[in-house]
Amino acid sequence: MNSLKNRNIRWGIIGLGNIADTFARDLLTVKGAELYAVASRTEQKARAFAQKHQATKAYGSYEALVNDANIDAVYIATPHSEHKKHALLCLDKGIAVLCEKPLAMNAEQVNSMIAVAQKNNVLLMEALWTYFLPHYQFVLTALNNQTYGKLLKIEADFGFIKEFDGQSRLFNKSLGGGSLLDIGIYPIFAALSTLGVPDSITADATFFDNGADSSCAMTFNYNNGSTALLKSTLLEATPGEALFHCEQGTIKINRDFHSPSTVTLINGTTQENRNFDCKTQGYNHEITHFNGLLRQQKTESDIMTFNFSRNLIETLDRVREVIGLKY
């Protein structure tokens, strides 16, 4: 890799679905970065995406993209089941990888990806963008400082109504489809990033006819008495909030807590609203962090650490075991 001190970081994108479209739009707002190349399974789709987002190169295969020596970093936005395969394509070429959440389908896959990244001394990070959003960092600081005392209970949900479509990735069990890996990961993230790994888990799920989970209700129990009540569902529109109940008050992230949102501080009968000015979709924050790591020649994030990614996928595995979900 050429020195990154005096030039743009040249990004590639593998997998050109809706989330890649959002990522590409925000990438264009990040100083010192450019969308250099994109790849799809068809060159026609890649060319259309490249034209829309001002990419220099368009490739009709993922292998062709990773063989382009000009690429510094790749964002992987393929289905969950393909994350490991496509991350290793990049890591084996010495290309830094920002891989969409979940990092892989299970802990065994995640551990193998991390092992290759460490062996090759290449940056790898799970793209759980919520961790880097200003409103979420604000909440983490308030909780760490115990502004309202000890954190006692979390309530977090993520749900929307989506008509079942057997051809859609979202419902395809073999691709990791279903509510848990796609959206349940966010309430679980809220618990792990504040209360840590639970000591015990109870959970109940419903399933579509093809075996993909349609909803999942989880309770995380901690030996210190704290609890987390979490929910994901593709069957109903939920408030999409995250509430952190502390000894002397509640910190509430309002609708769509996982994306740029507002925060309400509740102390008795007093409420204070905090707004966070975000003119993008919010992906630029994780991109900026990742670019900083790359310029500093770091191979692991100090926020989205390997240990956190391991804890996250291991917790997802534990929930799957409780509800009997196998891929």
Question: What is the C-alpha to C-alpha distance for residues 38 and 36, in angstroms, rounded to an integer?
Answer: 7
Average pLDDT estimate for 102-129: 98
Instruction: Band the pLDDT of 199: cuts 50, 70, 90.
Output: very high
**209 and 140 belong to one structural domain:** yes
Exposure string (b/e) for 282-314, b if CB count within 10 Å is 16 or more?
bbbbbbbbbbebbeeeebbbeebebebbbbbbe
Question: What is the C-alpha to C-alpha distance for residues 40 and 212, in angstroms, rounded to an integer?
Answer: 26
Domains of the chain: total: 2
**Rounded to whole angstroms, what are the CA distances from 280 to 23, 33, 130, 255, 284?**
10, 16, 13, 17, 7
**122 and 230 belong to one structural domain:** no
* Structural domain contains residue 233: yes
Instruction: Band the pLDDT of 305: cuts 50, 70, 90.
Output: very high
**Structural domain span for residue 51:** 9-130
Closest CA to 216 of 174, 175, 158: 158
Average pLDDT estimate for 231-246: 98
**250 and 143 belong to one structural domain:** yes
**108 and 156 belong to one structural domain:** no
pLDDT of residue 110: 98
Q: Position of tokens 């994780």?
A: 286
Query: Which positions ≥6 away from 141 have C-beta within 8 Å?
Result: none
pLDDT of residue 250: 98
**Rounded to whole angstroms, what are the CA distances from 277 to 22, 108, 134, 166, 273?**
18, 39, 9, 38, 13
* Structural domain contains residue 311: no
Per residue in 41-54, pLDDT (tens digit) is 999 999 999 999 99
pLDDT at residue 33 greater than cutoff 90: yes
Instruction: Give the percent of the chain with pLDDT over 70.
Output: 99
DSSP 217-232: EEEEE-TTS-EEEEEE
**109 and 203 belong to one structural domain:** no
pLDDT of residue 2: 54
Q: Which of 105, 130, 155 is the last residue of a domain?
A: 130
**115 and 166 belong to one structural domain:** no
Per residue in 77-92, pLDDT (tens digit) is 999 999 999 999 999 9
Instruction: Band the pLDDT of 99: cuts 50, 70, 90.
Output: very high
**51 and 166 belong to one structural domain:** no
* Structural domain contains residue 307: no
pLDDT, averaged across the chain: 97
* Structural domain contains residue 287: no
**215 and 255 belong to one structural domain:** yes
**89 and 13 belong to one structural domain:** yes
Average pLDDT estimate for 203-232: 98
**162 and 121 belong to one structural domain:** no
Please state whether beta strands 242-246 and 151-159 pair in parallel, antiparallel, or not at all (unpaired).
Answer: antiparallel
Number of residues assigned to the chain: 327
Q: Identify the CATH number of the domain in which residue 144 sits.
A: 3.30.360.10
Determine the longest span between alpha carbons in the chain, in angstroms: 60
Instruction: Give the percent of the chain with pLDDT over 90.
Output: 95
Average pLDDT estimate for 129-156: 98
Instruction: Band the pLDDT of 277: cuts 50, 70, 90.
Output: confident
Q: Which of 260, 277, 294 is the last residue of a domain?
A: 277
* Structural domain contains residue 312: no
**Phi then psi dihedrals of residue 152, to 5 deg:** -105, -40
Q: Identify the CATH number of the domain in which residue 85 sits.
A: 3.40.50.720
Q: Which of 262, 277, 292 is the last residue of a domain?
A: 277
pLDDT of residue 6: 82
Q: Find out whether 221 and 315 touch, Cβ atoms under 8 Å.
A: no
* Structural domain contains residue 195: yes
**109 and 150 belong to one structural domain:** no
**Phi then psi dihedrals of residue 216, to 5 deg:** -150, 125
The total of other beta-carbon atoms located within 10 Å of residue 160's CB is 14
pLDDT of residue 3: 75
**156 and 35 belong to one structural domain:** no
* Structural domain contains residue 310: no
* Structural domain contains residue 296: no
pLDDT at residue 25 greater than cutoff 60: yes
pLDDT at residue 247 greater than cutoff 70: yes
